[in-house]
Structure 1
Amino acid sequence: MKTTLEKYKHQLIVLGNGFDLAQGLRTGYADYFKDKYGDNPSMELMDNAWDMVLFDRKLHNHSEWANVEQAIREQVTGYESIARVRNGLDNPNVLDTSNLLGSYIARRMASMIDEIHTVGFLQSSINHKDTVYLSFMRRELTLFEHSLYTYLKKIVGQSENDDPWQYTVSSDDLYESIAGMPAISGKSVLEKQHNTILTFNYTSPFQRRDEGYFPGLDSVRFIHGSLAQGDIIIGIDALNQGVQGQRELINNEDVIPFTKTFRTLQSTSNYDTFSDVFDSEPPDCIKFFGHSLSEADYSYFQSIFDHVDLYGGVTALMFLYRPDGRYDGSDLYLKVTKLINKYGDTLDNKDHGKNLLHKLILENRLSIKRVY
């Protein structure tokens, strides 16, 4: 019987923003927003429409007001969200206090798009107005990405100025804890592993892995770009929830440019795909840390699970967390259950899909553990 450490020699480690947050790096969207606008933000002074959208969610006490990907999806696919802007465009010179977001976005559009001031635009079809709006919001998304990129560069730079090695050392410690789970392993054990990091973050503390840090780490793949590449991507999943509950590809030509798949394809940067993340054999274990497991990245998880043949294969899944003053990991049980069940719905054999979660637990291939 192989020990756990012997079984987990080849690992895929999936990282989300929680990896940086666990080290005290203020890389959350809420941190960005507060740094840029302070404690008393004003929609009138915001320099892109997506900051306005976030602020409107905050004003309405949205429980996930800083969830940018959710905000984008609702703003470009939700009928009510689009209608609010359309109403603002009927008279962009008037500030409607009952429709502040729609009015302010319409004002910004009117200051940048001459067509909006024409009688022809006011009399044009709803479809045309929506197309103009979505095209505008796509350009605004580039401004938002640049603003976030600038903030993250500053935060990482401040951290390195305070202590040039602290971010590397703390990242190495956390990596070793993740890679060594479920046991506490020394460098000599980790060096025998072959690990790949698949990161949804834009930060990269892994450059010094050739200097004795991050033992066993063979490669790092960035899903949506990195600060080092000078280009980052923000977008929504290409899959949408259908009327009958099924997931289907977004086919609205005006919304497709907001999807991560389209953005990655369109980008001129050298983005790493994860087709080469796996060697000829699937990893022994896939470990998740600091990721929200949100639907915005569901397509990536589906591709990974398909590749390792999650139902018929032997790859284990381990979801890890490190509790702090803001997070205790208790929500992971529900999130993991939903993720596995959603993936099970995609299997051709529906009976397999229904009992996938149960099968993984019985085979000791699914666990949720705390990282110390």
Structure 2
Amino acid sequence: MSPWNNQLIILGNGFDLECQLRSQFDDYFQTRMEKPWLCEPYAQWKENPDDPENLWDHIFAFEKENNPKSWKDVEAVILKWVSCKGMNDYVEIIHPIQKRYSFLQKVKALGGWPLPSSLPERISYIKDEDAFRNLLFEELQLMEKAFEVFLTKEAASLDYIRKSCNLFRVLRDADTEEDPRDTSNYILSFNYTVPQPDKIDSSLSDFRIACWRNVHGRLGKDHIIFGIDMNQLPNQQKSNPAVLQFTKTYRVLRQSGDTSVKEESVGLLEPYRIGENFNTIKVYGHSLGQADYPYFKAIFDRIDLYGSNTKLLFYFPSDHPYIKDGLYQQITGLLTAYGESMPDRSRGDNLMHKMLLEGRLALSELIVPDLES
């Protein structure tokens, strides 16, 4: 029996989707397509300063029309427009906006009606690629704010709150050898949400959470962020400040200076700091994609995945058994990539075999209860 009892729970968007939260980007963008600046024919309207027209609305509308299979991949679209596009592409996306407002701009110049949107003015002074990237970064923050408003409304549903609390309890207690009441839970969430048990006559303290860290911001606490993986940038762009500002590493670092982050008294890897380790790492609802691989690698390095006794447990919901085969491939890809990064390649090649022999690696069905209860 281990002298300590700590577990790290890693959550992806599959957690929120299992709780029927409309948290996907296409859910959000359906509401943007109803905005007057994306509707035809043009109608009179007045800009809401808290939800202004932003350039990314037009970029994603363009991508949706021209790349219907990939437009919902937010990180890939941002990477493409920040890293791969040139001035001709920028002119192509700006021209329809300028054309749309050209008549009203002439009226304004004659002392008539004001423009309903401030976007035409913001895009009128772009002379080179880095200036456009800086504009894209400013516009991205407007999109993030709009997405946060959308998701906050969705996550306020009592139905979602009830389901997320119940699902978290089931995941927390799954395959826990020690008394769950004595377990310290450390949460790394790639979502923007956090359970709200206080809304259903409970308390977050009942969840026995030592640390809850939302990697890319938390609704109502931190500014949420969209970002790109620095490793996907060409080498010559990694030192360009106009490009670097879009990377997740850069943006999380900037956000780490916020008071909300500094106020956390217990860090995510606190067990290691005090001479302990995690008995178990549980992963639920995460795609294990390349963009988030650096986080997994940092954790695996820190806990000594090869040499420790830590169990690595992946779960899929009982009501979606068809995702099991895909998860086997994703898990294999993750651990193969990690093994290739280990200094001792012979150990890296043997990592999965060793963990399987030791009973430290598994993909299991998580019995999802009636989430209405």
Fold match (TM-score > 0.5): yes
Q: Do the aligned partners of residues 7 and 324 (structure 1) sit closer, same or farther apart at CA in structure 2, a change above 3 Å counting?
A: farther
Q: Counterpart of 1:51? A: 57
Distance (Å, rounded) in 2 between the aligned partners of 1:242 and 1:114: 29
Give the Cα–Cα distance (whole angstroms) in 1 for the partners of residues 88 and 321 of structure 2: 36
1:263 aligned partner: 251
Task: Flag the 1:92–1:42 CA change in 2: closer, same or farther, 3 A.
Answer: closer
Determine if the alignment matches structure 1 residue 85 to structure 2 residue 90: yes
Aligned to 2:343: 348
Q: Secondary structure at the match of 2:139?
A: helix
1:225-260 CA deviation, whole Å, 9 max, x = no partner? Answer: 2112152121112323668xxxx9933322110012
Per-residue Cα deviation, 1:187-226 (whole angstroms, up to 9, x for no partner): x932121111111221121454973875443331222221
**Post-superposition CA distance 1:119-169 (Å, at most 9, x none):** xx4xxxxxxx21011111101110110000110111123x13xxxxx4443
Query: 1:353/1:55 Cα in 2 relative to 1: closer, same or farther (>3 Å)?
Result: farther
Would you say 1:153 and 2:152 are equivalent positions?
yes
More displaced stretch, 336-345 vs 249-258: 249-258
1:93/1:176 CA distance change after superposition, 3 Å: closer
CA pair 39-139 structure 1, distance change in 2 beyond 3 A: closer
What secondary structure does 1:66 align onto?
coil
CA contact (8 A) 2:59 2:93 kept: no
Does the CA-based 8 Å contact 1:9-1:193 persist in structure 2? yes
Match of 1:199 among 155, 177, 189: 189
Letter in 1 for 2:121: S
SS of the aligned residue for 2:296 comes to helix
Structure 2 stretches of 5 or more lacking a match?
A: 43-51, 101-117, 368-373
Q: How many residues align?
A: 332
Matched, 1:180 2:173: yes
1:50 deviation in Å? 2.3
Whether 1:291 and 2:286 are equivalent positions in the alignment is: yes
Evaluate the alpha carbon distance shift between residue 8 and residue 50 of structure 1 in structure 2; reply closer, same or farther with a 3 A threshold: farther
- AA matched with 1:199: S
- Structure 1 residue 286, shift from structure 2 partner: 0.9
SS at match of 1:231: coil
**Percent identical residues:** 31
Structure 1 equivalent of residue 21 of structure 2:
25
Structure 1 unaligned blocks of 5 or more = 96-107, 122-128, 161-165
Match of 2:111 in 1: none
- Please say if residues 32 and 38 of structure 2, whose CA atoms lie closer than 8 Å, have aligned partners that are also in contact: no
Write the letter of the residue equivalent to 2:253: L
**Residues of 2 paired with 1:230 and 1:212: CA distance?**
18
| 2:299 counterpart SS class | helix
Match runs of 1:1-372 below 5 Å: 9-38=5-34, 42=38, 47-79=53-85, 84-85=89-90, 111-116=121-126, 121=127, 129-157=128-156, 159-160=157-158, 166-182=159-175, 189-206=179-196, 208=198, 211=203, 214-240=206-232, 250-267=238-255, 269-270=258-259, 272=261, 276-278=267-269, 279=271, 280=274, 281-322=276-317, 324=319, 328-372=323-367
Once residues 129 and 55 of structure 2 are traced to their aligned partners in structure 1, the CA distance between those partners, rounded to angstroms, is 15
More displaced, 260-269 or 86-95?
86-95
SS in 1 for 2:323: coil
Answer yes or no: is the 8 Å Cα contact 1:26–1:155 preserved in 2: yes
Q: Secondary structure at the match of 2:179?
A: helix
Between the aligned partners of 1:131 and 1:249, the Cα distance in structure 2 is 11
CA distance in 2, matches of 1:338, 1:40: 44
Instruction: State the alpha-carbon separation in 2 of the partners of residues 360 and 328 from structure 1.
Output: 23
TM-align CA RMSD: 3.6
Q: Name which of structure 1's ranges 350-359 and 234-243 shifts more when overlaid on structure 2.
A: 234-243
Stretch deviating more after TM superposition (148-157 or 40-49):
40-49
AA of the residue aligned to 1:313: S
Q: Is the 8 A contact 2:315 2:364 kept in 1?
A: yes
- Residue 20 to residue 329, structure 1, CA distance change in 2 (3 Å): same
* Cα distance change of structure 1 residues 227 and 329 upon mapping to structure 2, 3 Å threshold: same
Task: Flag the 1:308–1:341 CA change in 2: closer, same or farther, 3 A.
Answer: same
User: Does the CA-based 8 Å contact 2:56-2:143 persist in structure 1?
Assistant: yes
Taking structure 1 as the reference length, the TM-score comes to 0.76
Distance between the aligned counterparts of 1:38 and 1:93, measured in 2? 20
TM-score of the pair, normalised by structure 2: 0.76
Q: Secondary structure at the match of 2:331?
A: helix
Instruction: Please say if residues 8 and 282 of structure 2, whose CA atoms lie closer than 8 Å, have aligned partners that are also in contact.
Output: yes
Maintained 8 Å contact 1:322/1:370: yes
